């Protein structure tokens, strides 16, 4: 399946600044060693098994910074590749290829790493398991790229930012509870706080999805009664997840509505992802997809034309 890439024009400034950071006043090694008329052919190869992501971005970089050259994708984004497999080729003035080498590899390796880790989580929960989602724990200014990489790995995107979905978290509830005089000892959120938070969100942001983060079955019940669209089960034990997910499912079935859906988050790893999915949650959101994915090892070797 082909995954439509984002509008790379939205990250053009990021790409330009990244190249400027590396190039500075000029590539002193290349300009010293490689003659100006030299031309080169390059081959991108995977050095480890994984899921490729970033090839259309490299085409965009090449067209922007080396229009006299050519870049050809052999693999496609979202494709699993083996170690030693050819991913893409290029032909360009040798100096241009050398100056773009690290920029292209940085983006390709990083995004392929995110796609690869996402695919591993998707495989871990199984074909009938919960959907795997990312979070806002992304590299600053890389968000649309990293979230695209999650899609290439078979995952789904959570909200893009603070503007496109309401997510009422523990800090929001704590501040609201203090305002309402409804805060208990040890961070306890008094009954009615979630209901008021959802009411205010519907009033201020009509038409947007409203999600509420909860910590136990009592808060889960209140979030269902408040009419939340999504309920985030935060850092719960497997037993508590199963209890809350079961309650949400029964609530949904009794009302005949499509919502609410349950979402587990916090402490999810490749080792326990299947167990979390088996509690019956609909979705699992994992910050590690973007903040802790190791880069996929990819090489670019150049030869004289």
Check the CA dihedral 90-96-97-100 and report its sign: negative
Of 54, 290, 3, the C-alpha closest to 158 is: 290
Q: Which residue has the tokens 């290829």?
A: 97
Listing DSSP states for 41-97 in one string gives EEEEEESS-EE---HHHHHHHHHHH-TTSEEEESS-TT-EE-TT-EEEEEEEEHHHH
pLDDT, mean of residues 233-249: 97
> 3-class DSSP state for residue 230?
strand
CATH code at 123-291: 3.20.20.70
Residue 3 has pLDDT above 90, yes or no: no
pLDDT 10s digits, 116-166: 999 999 999 998 889 999 999 999 999 999 999 999 999 999 999 999 999
- Please indicate, yes or no, whether the overall pTM of this predicted structure exceeds 0.85: yes
pLDDT on residue 189: 85
Q: Do 209 and 165 meet the contact criterion of CB atoms below 8 Å apart? A: yes
pLDDT at 2: 79
Catalytic pick from 137, 221, 252, 274? 137
pLDDT digits (tens, 9 = 90+) for 198-214: 999 999 999 999 999 99
Task: Assess whether 213 carries a catalytic annotation.
Answer: yes
Label residue 187 by pLDDT band (50, 70, 90). low
Q: What is the pLDDT of residue 147?
A: 98
Query: Is 204 tagged catalytic?
Result: no
Least confident stretch, 39-53, 202-216, 250-264: 250-264
Beta-ladder partners of 46:
298
Residues 47, 169, 199, 301: which is the catalytic one?
Answer: 169
Residue 1 has pLDDT above 70, yes or no: no
**Whole-number average pLDDT of the chain:** 95
Q: Both tokens of residue 126?
A: 């199984």
- What's the pLDDT band for 89 if we cut at 50, 70, 90? very high
Burial class (CB in 10 A: 0-12, 13-18, 19+), 125: buried
Query: What is the per-residue pLDDT for 57?
Result: 98
Task: Please tell me the CATH code under which domain 8-115+293-304 is placed.
Answer: 3.90.1170.20
Reduce the DSSP state of residue 212 to 3 states and report it.
Answer: strand
Would 8-115+293-304 and 123-291 be classified into the same CATH topology?
A: no
Which among 20, 11, 98 is positioned nearest to 56, based on CA atoms?
Answer: 11
Is 137 an annotated catalytic residue?
A: yes
Phi, psi (deg, nearest 5) at residue 179: -65, -40
Share of the chain above pLDDT 90, in %: 92
pLDDT above 70: residue 185: no
Q: Span 94-117, mean pLDDT?
A: 98
Per-residue confidence (pLDDT) for residue 35, from 0 to 100:
97
Q: Is residue 47 annotated as part of the catalytic site, yes or no?
A: no
Q: What is the pLDDT of residues 69-82, one digit of tens each?
A: 999 999 999 999 99
Which of 38-42, 257-261, 267-271, 280-284 is least confident?
Answer: 257-261
Q: Scan for tokens 């938070």, then name that residue.
A: 197
Is pLDDT above 90 for 85? yes
Q: Which sequence spans correspond to the domains of the chain?
A: 8-115+293-304, 123-291
Q: How confident is the model at residue 186 (pLDDT cuts 50, 70, 90)?
A: low
Q: Which of 59, 77, 146, 213 is catalytic?
A: 213
């Amino acid at each position: 399946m082909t995954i439509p890439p984002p509008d790379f024009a939205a990250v053009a400034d990021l790409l330009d600044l990244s190249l400027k950071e590396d190039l500075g006043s000029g590539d002193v090694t290349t300009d010293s060693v490689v003659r100006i008329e030299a031309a080169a052919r390059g081959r991108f190869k995977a050095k480890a098994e994984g899921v490729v992501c970033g090839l259309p971005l490299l085409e965009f970089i090449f067209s922007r910074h080396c229009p006299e050259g050519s870049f050809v994708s052999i693999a496609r984004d979202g494709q699993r590749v083996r170690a030693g497999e050819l991913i893409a080729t290029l032909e360009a003035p040798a100096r241009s290829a050398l100056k773009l080498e690290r920029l292209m590899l940085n983006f390709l390796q990083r995004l392929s790493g995110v796609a690869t880790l996402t695919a591993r989580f998707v495989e871990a929960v199984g074909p009938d398991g919960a959907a795997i989602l990312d979070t806002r724990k992304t590299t600053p200014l890389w968000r649309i790229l990293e979230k695209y990489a999650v899609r290439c790995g078979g995952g789904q995107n959570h909200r893009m930012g603070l503007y496109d979905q309401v997510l009422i978290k523990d800090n929001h509830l704590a501040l609201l509870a203090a305002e309402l005089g409804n805060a208990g000892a040890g961070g306890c959120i008094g009954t009615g706080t979630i209901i008021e938070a959802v009411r205010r969100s519907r009033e201020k942001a009509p038409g947007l999805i409203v999600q509420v983060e909860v910590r136990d079955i009592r808060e889960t019940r209140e979030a269902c009664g408040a009419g939340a669209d999504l309920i985030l089960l935060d850092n719960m034990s497997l037993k508590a997840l199963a209890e809350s997910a079961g309650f949400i499912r029964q609530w949904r079935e009794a009302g005949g509505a499509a919502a609410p859906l349950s979402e587990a988050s916090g402490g999810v790893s490749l080792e326990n992802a299947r167990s979390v999915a088996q509690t019956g949650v609909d979705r699992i959101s994992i910050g590690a997809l973007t903040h802790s994915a190791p880069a996929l090892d990819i090489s670019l070797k150049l030869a004289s034309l």
